[in-house]
A and B are shown apart, each in its own frame.
Chain A
Amino acid sequence: MSARDLFTFSNPHFTRGVGITAAILIVTAVVGFIVLPFAQPWVQFANVWDAICSAAGVPQRAANVTAPEQAKRLSEVVLTSNTLSRPSQEAIGRGATLAQRCAICHGPTGISRADSPNLAGQYAAVIYKELHDFRSGARTNAVMSPFAVNLTDQEIADLSLYYAYLPRLPAYHPTPQLPKPNIVIYGAPMRGIAPCGSCHGSLDNKTGSPWLEGQSETYMKAQLLAFASGDRRNDISQQMRNIARAMTPQEIDQAAAYYASQPPDIVKAVD
């Protein structure tokens, strides 16, 4: 065997093999890049080259128009693996000082008596994101917003680390533990609702989602309704709005009651 006998046009297998393959490639390319693009009357191409580029998927710069001003601001928080890494004792200490002004609603130990969220032991990323959103206006609340507007980036990070550092304590509204409702562990596949527990603990936790065990039932219910109505819109890509809109009122009640009844020390997460 020698490559010279094989790869030569005097070898009919070579000529035919390469010829047929190339012919098929050329025909399919012409159809795919020229004929089919122009066969779509609803798309306009300036010329053949334009059609080819479109069919090849050449990345296009978006036309240089400024995006219409959003009526409401969206969340712009970016979290990287370094954002809150390695909490220092000083940062936690600074956070503790700052947190004194939060205590009136969120409780001196981070446990609220006022249907505000409990913050003790909440994930740092969650507090970080919410404070940024309150500051930017992506999330608004008559009480909370004024507190957040004047915080610096540093202060937000310190507060987040401080609250994450506090131990998770039982809430003030002890209720008997309820069994897991379907919406929490199964979601509702037919309505495109993933189980609450797949992001908020119970099953798994996803970055940016708070754990909910022991939170106020009233508060959680209010938030779900706000997501459903669109009053609250700082969830990235409408993750929570899409879910809340599809939930039935009973499911909202069940999920809120279930999470409120759980002791926070069972929070399952790898942290």
Chain B
Amino acid sequence: MLVNRKLILAHFWLAFAVFGIALTLGAWQMFIRSPIGTWLSNPELYYRSLTAHGTVMGYVFPTLVAMGFGYAISESALEQRLVGVRWAWTGFWLIVIGSIMAVIPVALGRASVLYTFYPPLIGNVFYYLGVVLVVVGSWIWVALMSVNLSVWRKAHPGAPVPLAMYANVAGSYLWAWTAVGAALELLLQIIPVAAGLKATIDAGLARVFFSWTLHAIVYFWLMPTYIAYYTIVPRAIGGRVYSDSMARISFILFLVVAMPIGMHHTFADPMVGAGFKFIHSAFTALVALPTLLTVFTICASVEIAARLRGGRGLFGWIRALPWDNPMMLALAFSFVMLGFGGAGGLINMSYQLDASIHNTQWITGHFHLIFGGAIVIMYFAIAYDLWPHLTGRELIDLRLIRTQLWLWFVGMIVTTFPWHWVGILGMPRRMAYFDFGDPAIAPQALSVTFSAIGGFILLTSGILFLVILARGMRAPGADAGPYRFALAVHQPATVPLALNTHALWVALMIALTLTNYGYPILTLAMTEGTSVPAVYVGAQ
């Protein structure tokens, strides 16, 4: 039951519109710093673009997708009209205003600080205020998800919460808590300096706060994708979820272990003790667990679909899968990219190996493969799946959709594999210019050129995606019926209290944050003389 379609469509359209802009900037960045581009001789323009690209792709785009999808899940999985529609619109408009507020100083070159803020570099205060508004808007969504679930619970005492909603609310709680780190950094440290109330800043503490956000935000980006794996894919390909409990366990594991591991982003930083780095590294290893569970469960669910379609043999069933179904294609591509990206992630998470790829192009290659590849391709799939239900019109051209997915997959591989490779060779990230005439990096010119070509393939795919959605708004009307989620092989009649609620896992998440972050944050905050003068962007 999708009632507030306009609300959901607004979120998706805004998400994909800003995605289109940021994607164009990304392709331009790739091109301009490659040997095939002529250098524009002003690195500042590159960093403007990079700040906009990172801020949109990291904050605005995935947040809007999670929100739109969350509202859709709440209405259709709970079969209940959204409670608090007015609040939802408020959240949406806060994001619109915040994004505009942030992008103006960036466009003017007054906030080229990159989306990780990079204190003591300080940009125009409106950039940060804009980001804060985006986060506040998303917090409204978190509250609404929680409220809607509790309204439903009152009406259905003791009944198992539908998996999609259970996972959706878990994701929203994860976001609520992980955003606190960056919020503290912005409100207590950066904004006072940007507003001119202070002239020094504790950059080490700021980095620790940011790491609090930076890892779990990744799992917040991932949530819609995982929800799609479990609750859309099996239905779309005619199968069933292999295990409902396994799915719930994966989501609560994300809640517990995604948070207290962010210091793997500060391995190279001096202000955190090695003991804490080790704990964070060890917990990072644990985060592989829910992903492995998911890969197992989804493969099993897909096998069920194949066998229902008459597939047999140890691997012969793979051929029986509906490969012309875009959802099947998206899932397969997503898993391949997740596999390669996950393997790369093992290097990032180990304290020692990380040293060899720290701050190199490997990192950007890695997160584009996982985030831009494995995750975003499922965002496309979600949009394709929901569109007919939101517009009341059919997406007719499946072939075009398949082409778009293929292009994204191929483009992402062509872009990111050489990107990883030059990173291993030591090419630093976040550089506006490389002198490929220098014999030391001349051999990398070819790899970087491939990446740039891959970037244009991605841009083509992205444009195609927008075209397909836009055409879907004008296609002939067709009733898509109610929006449904996949059923489990054994659809649960009752679920243990712990797996039907989130309180225990939220409590563990907060407790682990305190144990793993409490001491480093407190000592840094209380040690005198750790602040350095702010460096204002563009100021003399």
Q: Is the CB of B278 within 8 A of A36?
A: yes
Chain B residues positioned under 8 Å from A270 (CB to CB): 538-540
Distance A227 CA – B357 CA, assembled complex (angstroms):
32
Interface string of B478-517 (1 = CB under 8 A from A): 0000000000000000001111110111011001100100
Q: Are A52 and B39 in contact (CB under 8 A)?
A: no
Select one of B282, B440, B497 contacting A28, CB under 8 A. Answer: B282
Please give, as numbers and ranges, the residues of chain B lying within 8 Å of A188 by CB-CB distance.
435, 438
- Are B504 and A29 neighbours in the complex by a CB distance under 8 Å? no
Say yes or no for B271: interface residue by CB 8 A criterion.
yes
Verify B276–A182 contact, CB threshold 8 A: no
Most B CB atoms within 10 A — which of A1, A7, A187? A1
The answer to whether B538 touches A190 (Cβ under 8 A) is no
Seen from chain A, the residues whose Cβ lies within 8 Å of a Cβ on chain B are 1, 3, 5-7, 11, 13-14, 17-18, 21, 24-25, 28-29, 31-33, 36-37, 52, 54-59, 80-81, 123, 125, 180, 182, 185-190, 195, 198, 203-207, 269-271
Are A11 and B497 in contact, CB atoms less than 8 angstroms apart?
A: yes
Q: Is the CB of B279 within 8 A of A203?
A: no
Cross-chain contact B274 with A17 (CB below 8 angstroms): no
What's the nearest-Cβ distance from chain B to residue A147, in Å?
26
Task: Please determine whether B199 and A58 come into contact, CB atoms closer than 8 angstroms.
Answer: no
In angstroms, how far is the closest chain B Cβ from the Cβ of A219?
22
CB contacts under 8 Å to A, within B432-462, are 433-435, 438, 440-441
Contact-residue size bin, chain B (C-beta under 8 Å from the other chain): 35 or more
Q: Which residues of A contact B527 (CB under 8 A)?
A: 59
A66 to B101, CA, bound (A): 51
**A52 and B275 contacting across the interface, CB-CB below 8 Å:** yes
A209 to B271, CA, bound (A): 29
Residues of A within 8 A of B283 (CB): 24, 28
**B272 located at the interface, meaning its Cβ lies under 8 Å from any Cβ of chain A in the complex:** yes
- Besides the contacts A6-B503, A186-B435, A204-B538, what 10 more A-B pairs have beta carbons closer than 8 Å? A21-B512, A24-B283, A25-B279, A29-B279, A33-B275, A55-B273, A185-B41, A185-B42, A186-B41, A188-B435
Give A250 Cβ to nearest chain B Cβ, in Å.
Answer: 15
User: Do A57 and B435 touch across chains, with their CB atoms under 8 A apart?
Assistant: no
**Closest chain A CB from B135 CB (angstroms):** 28
| Contact of B9 with A by CB under 8 A | no
* A-side contacts of B498, CB under 8 Å: 6, 11, 13-14, 17
Contact of B43 among A182, A190, A195, A271 (CB under 8 A): A195
CB A58 to nearest CB in B, in angstroms, measures 7
A205 CA to B539 CA, complexed, in Å: 7
Complexed CA–CA distance, A22 and B440 (Å): 50
Q: Tell me if A190 and B440 are in contact (CB < 8 A).
A: yes
Question: Is B199 touching A81 in the complex (CB atoms < 8 A)?
Answer: yes
Across-interface contacts of A7 in B (CB, < 8 A)? 503-504, 507
Tell me, yes or no, whether B403 is within 8 Å of chain A by CB. no
Minimal beta-carbon separation of A225 from chain B (angstroms): 24
Give Cα A7–Cα B504 distance, bound, in whole angstroms: 7
| Residues A13 and B504 in contact in the complex (CB < 8 Å), given A21-B256, A204-B44 | yes
Q: Are B508 and A56 in contact (CB under 8 A)?
A: no
Known: A1-B153, A1-B497. A55 touches B435 (CB 8 A): no
Query: B275 — which chain A residues lie within 8 A by C-beta?
Result: 29, 32-33, 36-37, 52, 55-57
Which B residues are CB-close (under 8 A) to A189? 428, 431, 433-435
Q: Are B499 and A180 in contact (CB under 8 A)?
A: no
Enumerate 30 A-B pairs (CB-CB under 8 Å) in ascending A order: A1-B153, A1-B497, A13-B497, A13-B499, A14-B504, A17-B256, A17-B504, A21-B511, A24-B282, A25-B515, A28-B279, A28-B282, A28-B283, A29-B279, A32-B274, A36-B275, A37-B275, A55-B274, A55-B275, A55-B278, A56-B275, A56-B276, A58-B523, A59-B523, A59-B527, A80-B533, A189-B428, A190-B435, A270-B539, A271-B540
Q: Residue B520 contacts which of A37, A57, A182 (CB distance < 8 angstroms)?
A: A57
B271 neighbours in A (Cβ, 8 Å): 57
How far does the Cβ of B427 sit from chain A's closest Cβ, in whole Å?
A: 9
> Complex formed: what's the CA distance from A114 to B435 in Å?
38
User: Which B residues are CB-close (under 8 A) to A36?
Assistant: 274-275, 278
Counting CB contacts under 8 A, is B535 at the interface?
A: yes
Distance between Cα atoms of A269 and B539 in the complex (Å):
8
Is B519 among interface residues, defined by CB-CB distance under 8 A?
A: yes
CB proximity of A201 to chain B, nearest CB, Å: 9
Contacts of B503 in A (CB 8 A): 3, 6-7
Contacts of A54 in B (CB 8 A): 273-274
- Contacting residues, chain B, for A11 (C-beta < 8 A): 497-498
Shortest CB distance A118–B (Å): 18
Q: A134 CA to B158 CA in the complex, in Å? A: 80
When distances are taken between beta carbons in the complex, the residues of chain A under 8 Å from B538 are 204, 270
Interface string of B519-540 (1 = CB under 8 A from A): 1100100010000010100111
CB distance from A14 to the nearest CB of B (A): 6
Residues in B with CB closer than 8 Å to A81 are 199
Report Cα–Cα, A148/B501, bound state, in Å.
74
Chain B residues within an 8 Å CB radius of A198? 43
Instruction: Determine whether B286 belongs to the interface, using a CB cutoff of 8 Å to chain A.
Output: yes
Measured CB to CB, the closest approach of chain B to A190, in angstroms, equals 5
For window 198-222 of chain B, which residues contact chain A by CB distance below 8 Å?
199
Answer whether A203 and B540 are a contact pair too, CB < 8 Å, given A31-B278, A55-B275: no
Question: Across the interface, do A6 and B497 meet the contact criterion of CB distance under 8 Å?
Answer: yes
Contact yes or no, B276 A32, CB < 8 A: yes
Decide: B508 and A21 in contact? CB cutoff 8 A.
yes
CB distance from B263 to the nearest CB of A (A): 11
Chain B residue with minimal CB distance to A54? Answer: B273
Query: Could you tell me if B273 and A80 are in contact, using CB atoms closer than 8 angstroms?
Result: no
A34 and B539 alpha carbons, distance in the complex (Å) = 47
Partner of A57, one of B273, B433, B497: B273
Determine which residue in A14, A32, A55 has the highest number of CB atoms from chain B within 10 A of its CB, and name it.
A32
With A and B bound together, what is the CA distance between A29 and B282 in angstroms?
10
In the complex, how many angstroms separate the beta carbon of A51 from the nearest chain B beta carbon? 9
Which residues of chain A are within 8 angstroms of B272 by Cβ–Cβ distance? 57
Shortest distance between the CB of B336 and any CB in chain A (Å) = 31
Residues of B within 8 A of A57 (CB): 271-276, 520, 523
A13 to B245, CA, bound (A): 13
User: Could you say which residues of chain A place their CB within 8 Å of the CB of B433?
Assistant: 186-187, 189
Q: Which residues of B contact A56 (CB under 8 A)?
A: 273, 275-276, 519
Distance in angstroms from B525 CB to nearest chain A CB is 12
**CB-contacts of B317-371 with A (<8 A):** none
